[in-house]
Amino acid sequence: MLLTSFKKLEDTDPKDKALITILNYVLTQWHYHPQEINDNFSKNVYTKFLESLDPSKRYFLQSDIEEFSVYKNAIDDQIKQENLTFFNLVYKRFNERTEESKAYYKEILTHPIDFMSDETLNVDYEKTKYATNTFELISHWKKLMKFSVLTRVYDKVNEEDDKLKKDKNYKIKTFSELEIEARESTLKNMDEYFNRLKELDHSDLFSTYINCISEEFDPHTNYYDPIKKKGFDQSISGKLEGIGARLQKQNDYVKVSELVIGGPAWKQGELEAEDIILKVAQGDGEPLDIVGMRLDHSIEFIKGKKGTEVRLTVKKIDGTIKVISIIRDVIELEETFVKSSVVNKNGKKFGVINLPKFYIDFDEKNYRNSTTDMAQEIERLKKENVEGLIVDLRNNGGGSLKTAIEITGLFINQGPVVQVKYRDKEAQIKSDIDPKMQWDGPLVVLVNELSASASEIFAAAMQDYKRAVIIGGKQTYGKGTVQSVLDLNRYHNLKEDIGALKITIQKFYRINGGSTQLEGVHSDIMLPSRYTYMEIGERDLTNPLKFDKVPEANYALWNNYANFNEVIGNSKKRIANNTYFKLIDENAKWLKKSQDDSIVYLNYEAYKNDLEYHKNESSKFDEIKNYTTNLTFESPLYEKAILKNDTDLTEKRSTWHKNLKKDIYVAEALNVLEDLKLKPNHHLVKK
């Protein structure tokens, strides 16, 4: 691949020129907040492109960077002139440097590695300087390979210990033998990685370059080349296949940003947002190291056919390493539908409604949507005379704006719900126009840091009307933008497909005028969680749009609670005195400290001790898992009849009810719901 697919610098593909021009036009004309394409823009694209190609600084030399830097302030001019000199130069050099790197790792892995020296590796590569010469670059490669072999040796030593425990006569392999095996598997891993790298052609890296330009506008504005667009059309995101997780690149690592409700990973229960995937194994096969691998290539190994096993070696946010086995499967749509449970507490009956997504028309056969399902669930719970409702929106990543407005309408008479604004236009107020209230009793909305988009619209409206008490983390996700997919082929007459652009065209605003962008919804009652001290959500992304305000809409407070502020104050006192919440808060502080630690030990004993330290520190918080209540959660009456003939649903509901019983956040939400009192002249809507 070295230079065979590389074109002369002056011989630029007309399709590439057309794409640059169309991208420039579409972004500046249609993006919600167009950036001025100037020298500062150029610097950011320059930095982002080099980081995306060489995040761990294992390929380029400082001399390359100095040569590239001539164009640091010129990319904006090149975009306007259909000039791809910078891209072509970097593309050519990247091919040369990756080809040279093959010799480095092959040579390093032919010799035994010494794990006795007190070396460390800082994996915060933003602080790492580019090598000034080949000798320094090879030294960096030695550390990278040493770390890769070290992790394998550690795993193999533990495997040997496990075999000895099962069979007292088993002859343990020596450390030297295991080191040889680990080097061999690392070599095989690296060969596979570079074979993948060799498959990258001009269009692959050009797509990367184009995305560095588009994402400078905001992180949700992404270019899809023709192949990726096909995958996007099929499933909204190619990152959802296989295990059901949204993945994103974080420097050299693949990070889990979200689990798909109803997906295999979500059902398995061990993989979590913020986990880092280090290795991927197919069934009992040899784990493949994906550190440093392109995101789309990593996904190829993670996804697979239904029924096959993938084993992920994951670094948890507490610093511990865990192997998680997931059986790939299709996402079960019914897991995304509304479900409810009934619980008795101190002689009062309450309903818990779980809404995993604001869905609409998922399946042509049944046309289910979250509005009608939610209304029906409320009616069923009213027949059982529940005195209050919890709407659980934790981990709800959003969905249909239409259903978010309609579901808000189930809890208010009439009035504005959200404001939607296009660029350079006044904000439009979207209102609930149906005067019917499905539920006018006490209401608590449960959210967390992963409640996003449509969830934030609903929670914000409930908070602004003072219709519900919002309970959850410090704030919700903070995504207050709307994207649309534009087919770029409408802007040219070439015979080739040039793909599509997902572009941010609108922003959401609360009826109080504030945007949910970055700020999200701040809970009325903040409950400590493992994410409390972490930058998680929209704020954690590169280059998000800013928070701002528009004029407040005209709306009237619901004003039917007799003790709203008192209930919030009492809850805060309970939380402050609750030993479990104190422990959760201590755990959150420790997790933040662990996340900020970027030093990796390359001495075997130091590496082993560091892992043991994190494991032991993590175990101090095991008591959190032991929390339980004496409450009993049951299916509503209508569902009990269905469960008699559906063992699969029975098992799912049983698991959910057991989890609710052990859920400290639901427990406090019920405390709040029990305390909420309506004004004397208020009457519940009855069927």
Distances 290 to 75, 121, 196, 281, 286 between C-alpha atoms, Å: 31, 18, 11, 10, 13
Please tell me which residue in 479, 507, 585, 635 is annotated as part of the active site: 479
Q: Is 462 helix (H, G, I), strand (E, B) or coil?
A: helix
CB 245 within 8 A of CB 265: yes
CA atoms of 136 and 134, how far apart (whole Å): 5
Q: Is 152 helix (H, G, I), strand (E, B) or coil?
A: helix
Please tell me which residue in 101, 257, 340, 453 is annotated as part of the active site: 453
CA atoms of 503 and 218, how far apart (whole Å): 9
Among 608, 612, 601, 613, smallest CA distance to 118 is for: 601
CA atoms of 235 and 226, how far apart (whole Å): 15
Alpha helices (runs of H) in 334-464, residue ranges in sequence order? 370-383, 401-409, 454-464
Please tell me which residue in 275, 329, 464, 585 is annotated as part of the active site: 464
Among 375, 359, 355, 378, smallest CA distance to 367 is for: 359
CA atoms of 455 and 397, how far apart (whole Å): 7
Contacts of 593 (CB under 8 A, 6+ apart): none
Alpha helices (runs of H) in 355-514, residue ranges in sequence order? 370-383, 401-409, 454-464
Q: Residue 228 carries which side chain, given as an amino acid letter?
A: K
- Sign of the Cα pseudo-torsion (524, 530, 531, 534, in order): positive
The reply to whether 453 belongs to the active site is yes
CB 274 within 8 A of CB 256: yes
Alpha helices (runs of H) in 348-474, residue ranges in sequence order? 370-383, 401-409, 454-464
The reply to whether 340 belongs to the active site is no
The reply to whether 464 belongs to the active site is yes
CB 469 within 8 A of CB 567: yes
CB 199 within 8 A of CB 452: no
Unique residue bearing structure tokens 């929209």: 538
Catalytic positions? 453, 464, 479
